[in-house]
Structure 1
Amino acid sequence: MKEYLLIALALLGVLILGAIGLVVPRLRRRPEPPLPETEVETRAEEDRAGPPVEAPEAELSTGVLVEPPTVVEAPAPVLEVPEPAAGRLVRLRSRLSRSQNVFGKSLLGLLSRDHLDEDAWEDIEDSLITADVGIDATREIVDRLRERTRVLGTRSATELRALLAAELVNALDPTLDRSLKTAPKDGVPAVLLVVGVNGAGKTTTCGKIARVLVADGRTVLLGAADTFRAAAADQLETWGGRVGAEIVRGPEAADPASVAFDAVKRGIDTGVDTVLIDTAGRLQNKVGLMDELGKVKRVVEKHGPIDETLLVLDATTGQNGLEQARVFTEVVNVSGVALTKLDGTAKGGIVIAVQRKLGIPVKLVGLGEGKDDLAPFDPAQFVDALLGTEPLARDA
């Protein structure tokens, strides 16, 4: 009997412990808010609350509302308007002050002597030779001056200035064609190839030529075929960007002929008037470099003939510039000269020497570091600027 009683007590204890285990966890749970009774009530609650708003990150972390930054659009680049090319040489006459000291003051002073003896004429010859006119051209100019002053008996400063101006203009051969061939033909743009030695200011001059063409109403594309000087393409791109001219460039050390070819092809595709190709500076005595320049010319001519090949010469190099011009002419058939840095030299006579020796017209002259200091060359205006004659002062 006792055994049954113990078994009953044990079962009762187990039941009591199980009941406690089920009740205690329920007492520890936190009550949850009541759910909506129907799906319609749930949607009504969401509609009243509106769409969820995502708070800025800073607001979640600090509690401070951070406004998003204001986006300011960069203004469109303003294109520059180059000053008209016509009349630039007249406006820039003061830049020839150093050469004016030789031609205007020295020569006119010598010619104005009371008695022009042999010593005086020798001094005149020396002045012209010092100005890099060249020996042959100097002798011809002086011989003609001597003859005309003897026959005409001219003695006044005005008459002597007129005689000297006429002889200098004649030595520059005003009959030469100095126009730049920049007009497209049959849907193909005119191609201008710019060549020259290192340090002549070639890339800068190329950029200034682009401004001359834009000022004259031409649309221009620039080809950066100087792939050996890292800054050359960047420099040319800066020049082109100022006037809205597109530039075609290749990777550093790319094949210059390939870049030049692509530039002309792009010019044809876009329908521009003129493609202006800048080439790497070369020494005229380096056969390999000159052969490469010849390759550029041949590759470009697969699109058609090159309309203009401009040789950039530094006026301060003097007679050495003639040798440069001669070798470049043999390789790429130079059709014109852009003479730079005339404002920094008293040797303005190099213009005469280049034309006399090579028969190549000077088409452009650089008279300063300004963006529009490259001027189309006109013999009469140039001589008037050198001599400071009255007709130029009235025209200005």
Structure 2
Amino acid sequence: MFKNLFKFNKKKEEKKETEDKEIENILEEEMKKIELESNKEVNEESFSDKEPIVEAEDKEEIKNIEIKNIETEGKVEEIVKTEKIQETEKVEEIEKVEEIVKKEEKEEIEEEKREPKVNLFERLKQGLTKAKQGITDKIDNVLNMYTKVDEELLEDLEEILITADVGVNTTMNIIDQLRNRIKQKGITDPMDVRVELKNIVENILDNDNAKLDVEKSPSIILMVGVNGVGKTTTIGKLANRYKSEGKKVLLAAGDTFRAAAIEQLEVWAQRSNVDIIKHQEGADPGAVVYDAIKAAKARNVDLLICDTAGRLHNKANLMNELGKVFKIVDREFPEAKREVLLVVDATTGQNAVSQAKTFKEVADITGIVLTKLDGTAKGGVVLAVKSEVDVPVKLIGVGEKVEDLQDFDAKAFSDALFGN
């Protein structure tokens, strides 16, 4: 059956080929006739003005074909031209969009440059609301009660400052300075005492080294402090800040003894899109810092921020562990600009001062970070830390947001505290 079907198909194909050949031969003959007639038409053109109807029709047909070809070519050229115009317009449109985006970005940057101080100052004022209520509002109440300036007034001011955690030594220093200014300037109006008090506070807090210095590359920040003061959160906020400024930042999870400290720092690293060097929980903090320094060098990192242990079995062990970390940094990363920041919780009051003194014994602290200032009415701890520990306050935390970790500015702080 298949054999017969194959033969049938073969015959069918042969028949088709024969028919195709016949058609092809007929077409060839027709073309030859047309060619002969065309030649004849050219030869007879000089003898006769009249052309046969058939020749005229053929000529008209050829003419129509030529016209169609010309029209087709014209349309193709027109399409190509249109496409080129559209492509040019598209490129111009993209360039315009890019120009608009760049202009908007530039305007945003310029706007940020024009208004950051206002925004930050407003945040600072809001963050210091409780501190203002606990210090300057009470001072204003006392000053309004008096009609003259005397020792009794100074004693009441002294009490307010001590209860606001300014510290006994710092308070005595402030009152002595205030007393001298009152005598020298002959101040008799209690409200004028307020102006002098604000100036004294600003002078105590003012320091040329108050700005965090990590402009040089490479730089390293070592964060120290007991657990619970906001050390890891401060690292995360700093990483976010310097990453947004275009720096290449690397974190080191050196607080290996506190549960979830590594995981917490990892979350901040992901949020800020920066790399992190970590070991297992309970690992040697010094080993983590060592590996982080090696990684920072290999990756050409601008800023390395290291978390450190905040709690061990006792104070001696903690300080020994920190000592090891500092030796590793001295040996492996001497070329880096170094900042050693002590993080203290402002809500702990005089305990923050004690912590600062203890850490200063084993570490060359270059600055203090005062966190949670928005949560205390005893903001006088800023004065106590600066005055009694003799280390500049470089950063203050006045809220939960990233921008609420601010560079400390003595004038802005005193203005916000005294309501100016």
Contact 2:128–2:373 (Cα < 8 Å) also in 1: yes
Higher normalized helix content (fraction of residues): 2
Asked if the contact 2:166/2:380 (under 8 Å) is kept, the reply is yes
Deviation at 1:166? 0.4
Aligned ranges 1:50-129 → 2 under 5 Å: 87=117, 89-92=120-123, 93-112=125-144, 113-129=146-162
CA distance in 2: counterparts of 1:103 and 1:220, whole angstroms: 39
Partner residue of 1:246?
A: 275
Aligned pair in 2 of structure 1 residues 283, 137: CA closer, same or farther (>3 Å)?
Answer: farther
Greater alpha carbon shift after TM alignment, 103-112 vs 337-346:
103-112
Structure of greater Rg: 2
What is the CA–CA distance in structure 1 between the aligned matches of 2:410 and 2:4, rounded to whole Å? Answer: 100
The amino acid that maps onto 1:327 is T
State the Cα deviation string for residues 248-303 of structure 1 (Å, max 9, x = none).
11122221111111112211111121000011213795211210111111122222
Change (3 A) 1:37 1:373: same
Q: Is the Cα contact below 8 Å between 1:228 and 1:280 reproduced in 2?
A: yes
DSSP-derived class of the 1:178 partner:
coil
5+ residue gaps, structure 2? 10-108
Partner Cα separation in structure 2 for residue 96 and residue 240 of structure 1: 29
Q: Report Cα offsets for 1:327-357 as digits up to 9, x if no partner.
A: 2112221111000111111121111111212
Matching residue of 2:221: 192
Counting matched residue pairs gives: 311
Cα contact 2:149–2:189 (8 A) shared by 1: no
The one-letter code of the counterpart of 2:222 is L
Which residue of structure 2 lines up, in the alignment, with residue 382 of structure 1?
Answer: 413
Select 1:259's aligned residue among 281, 288, 292.
Answer: 288
> For 1:235, which of 264, 274, 280 is the aligned residue?
264
Alignment CA distance shift 1:283-1:326 (3 Å): farther
Contact 1:89 1:381 in 2 (8 A): no
Q: 2-side partners of 1:270 and 1:369: how far apart? A: 31
Tell me if structure 2 keeps the 8 A contact 1:282–1:290. no
The answer to whether the 8 Å contact 1:257/1:299 transfers is yes
Cα gap change, 1:86/1:215 in structure 2, threshold over 3 Å: closer, same or farther? Answer: farther
Closer/same/farther in 2, CA of residues 89 and 347 from structure 1, 3 Å limit: farther
Pick from 205, 209, 226: which aligns with 2:238?
209
> Contact 1:362–1:377 at 8 Å: present in 2 too?
yes
When the two structures are superposed, what TM-score results if normalisation uses the length of structure 1? 0.72
Aligned residue type for 1:300: V
Tell me the secondary structure at the aligned position of residue 370 of structure 2: strand
User: Does the CA contact (< 8 Å) of 2:258 and 2:310 recur in 1?
Assistant: no
* Alignment-derived partner of residue 328 in structure 1: 359
Q: In structure 2, what is the Cα distance between the partners aligned to 1:201 and 1:316?
A: 12
Partner of 2:248: 219
Q: Is the Cα–Cα contact under 8 Å of residues 319 and 350 in structure 1 kept in the other structure? A: yes
Query: Which string of whole-angstrom CA distances, capped at 9 and with x for unpartnered residues, describes residues 131-151 of structure 1?
Result: 111112211211222332344
| Structure 1 residue matching 2:260: 3-state secondary structure | helix
Deviation string, structure 1 residues 112-136 (Cα, Å, up to 9, x no partner): 4212333221110000111111112
Instruction: Give the aligned residue type for 1:114.
Output: T
Question: What corresponds to 1:152 in structure 2?
Answer: 185
Percent of paired sites with the same residue = 44
Structure 1, unaligned runs of 5 or more: 1-32, 42-80, 390-396
Question: How far 1:37 moved relative to its partner?
Answer: 12
Deviations 1:234-255 (A, max 9, x none): 2112212222211111122221
The aligned counterpart of 2:327 is 298
